[in-house]
Amino acid sequence: MSNVTLKVNGRNHTVNIEPSTPLLYILRNDLDLQGPRFGCGLGQCGACTVIIDGVATRSCVTPTSNVKGEITTLEGISKDGKLHPLQQAWIDEQVPACGFCQNGQIMTAKALLDKNPKPTDAQIRDGMARTLCRCMTYYRIQAAIKRVATGKVGA
């Protein structure tokens, strides 16, 4: 066990942990962040996605000691009580079914749009391809991303 300092959603946290512990468990159990979720523990489904220095990262297979940059979780993307446009688009489009995977969908979409604000349909499909949803809300997820890309949020 040793002290590790993480910058998450703009705040520094120091936790006393086994440093090889996957970041997901530290975020969920030590920092009480519940956006990122355990889905597979294998980096295959994306439910645990956080953004580290702009990169969508699977926290379930990321050793905490490897994390050097600032971490953003689902809780950290709204600003001043105002939802991120993607979150609003998710509501406008009524995307979630059970909603369990939607953390990964939103965070992966955010990293995608941050790099490429006007993706084509094919780029959306490719960029989201490895983020799984077992309620199969893909059709509405893609529609919500297109809303943001075309500035139609809140419409």
- Taking CB under 8 A as the criterion, the residue among 14, 42, 68, 155 binding other proteins is 42
Q: Which of 47, 49, 26, 28 is nearest to 38 (CA)?
A: 47
Only one residue has tokens 């949020």, namely 153
Is 53 near other proteins (CB under 8 A)?
no
Is 131 near other proteins (CB under 8 A)?
yes
**What mask, x for binding other proteins by CB under 8 A, covers residues 64 to 103?**
---------xxx--x----x---x--xx--xxxxxxxxxx
Is 150 near other proteins (CB under 8 A)?
no
Only one residue has tokens 């989201």, namely 128
Beta bridge partner(s), residue 71: 8, 52
Beta bridge partner(s), residue 55: 52
> For residues 40 and 45, what is the distance between their CA atoms, to the nearest angstrom?
6
Binding site for other proteins (CB under 8 A): 1, 18, 21-22, 25, 28-29, 32-35, 37-42, 44-45, 47, 73-75, 78, 83, 87, 90-91, 94-103, 106, 121, 124-126, 128-142
